[in-house]
Chain A
Amino acid sequence: MSNPLLRGSLRLLNAFAGSELAERYGLQERAKAWLAKGAQRGVSMMSQRRGEPAGGEERGRDLFDLTPTEDQELIQQTMRRFAEEVLRPAAGRADDAMALPAEVLARASDLGLGALAVPERYGGAADGRSPVTWTLAAEELARGDMALAWALLAPVSVANLLMDHGTDAQRERWLPDLADEKRVATAALLEPRPLFDPRRLLTRARPHRGGFRIRGDKSLVARGRSADLLLVSADLEGEGRRLFVVDKDRAGVDVEPEPAMGLRGADPCRVRLDVEVPADALVGEEAERGSHQRVVDLARIGWGALAVGQCRAMLEYVIEYCNDRVAFGEPITNRQAVAFLIADMAIEVDGMRLLVWRAASRAEHGLDTTRAAHLVRVQCADKAMKIGTDGVQLLGGAGFIREHPVEMWYRHLRSVGVVEGGISP
Chain B
Amino acid sequence: MIRLEVPRKLKGLVELASSVAEGYFRPISRKYDRAEHTYPKELDLLAAAMSAVDRGGAGVDSGRGSGERGRGGDTIRNGGNMATVLGLTELCWGDVGLALTLPGQGLGNAAIAAVASPEQKARFGERWAAMAITEPEAGSDSAAIRTTARLDGEEWVLDGEKIYVTGGERADLVVVWATLDPRQGRAAIKSFVVEKGTPGMEVVRLDRKMGIRASDTAVIRFDGCRIPRDNLLGSEVIHTRESFAGAMQTFDNTRPMVAAMAVGVARAALERATEILAASEVKPQHGGGPRDAPAAEAELVRMEAELEASRLLMLRAAWMADNGRPNSVEASMAKAKAARVANDITLRCVELCGAVGYGETELLEKWARDSKILDIFEGTQQIQLLIIARRLLGKRSHELK
Contact = CB atoms under 8 A, between A and B. Distances in A.
Nearest to A6: B19
Interface stretch (B149-157, B301-309, B349-357): B301-309
B286 A370 contact: yes
Given A47-B11, A346-B333, A378-B305, A2 B287 contact: no
Interface centre among B19, B304, B315 (most CB of A within 10 A): B19
A297 B286 CA distance: 10
Contacts of A202: none
Nearest to A367: B5
Interface string B209-233: 0000000000000000000000000
A148 to B, nearest CB: 25
Contacts, number: 286
Q: Please tell me the size bucket of the interface on B.
A: 35 or more
Residue among A7, A14, A63, A354 with max Cβ neighbours from chain B (10 Å): A63
A1 interface: yes
Interface residues of A, number: 96
Interface string A49-62: 01110010001111
B76 interface: yes
Contacts of B319: 64-66
A67 to B, nearest CB: 5
Interface string B327-351: 0001001001100000000000000
Interface string B368-401: 0000000000000010111011101111000111
B159 interface: no
A108 interface: no
Contact of A7 (B3, B19, B28, B312): B19
A307 interface: no
Interface in A320-378: 322-323, 330, 333-334, 336, 339-340, 342-344, 346-348, 350-352, 354-355, 357-358, 360-362, 364-365, 367, 370-378
18 contacts: A1-B18, A1-B90, A7-B23, A14-B24, A44-B58, A46-B15, A46-B16, A50-B8, A52-B9, A62-B8, A63-B76, A66-B4, A198-B288, A343-B392, A354-B4, A361-B4, A372-B308, A375-B305
Interface of B: 1-9, 11-16, 18-24, 27-28, 41-42, 44-46, 48-50, 52-53, 56, 58, 66-68, 70-71, 76-78, 82, 90, 286-292, 301-302, 304-306, 308-310, 312-313, 315-316, 319, 330, 333, 336-337, 382, 384-386, 388-390, 392-395, 399-401
Counting from the closest, the 5 A-B pairs by CB-CB distance are: A36-B52, A197-B289, A10-B23, A351-B309, A7-B23
Given A64-B6, A65-B1, A69-B71, 5 more contacts: A11-B27, A46-B16, A60-B7, A348-B309, A379-B306
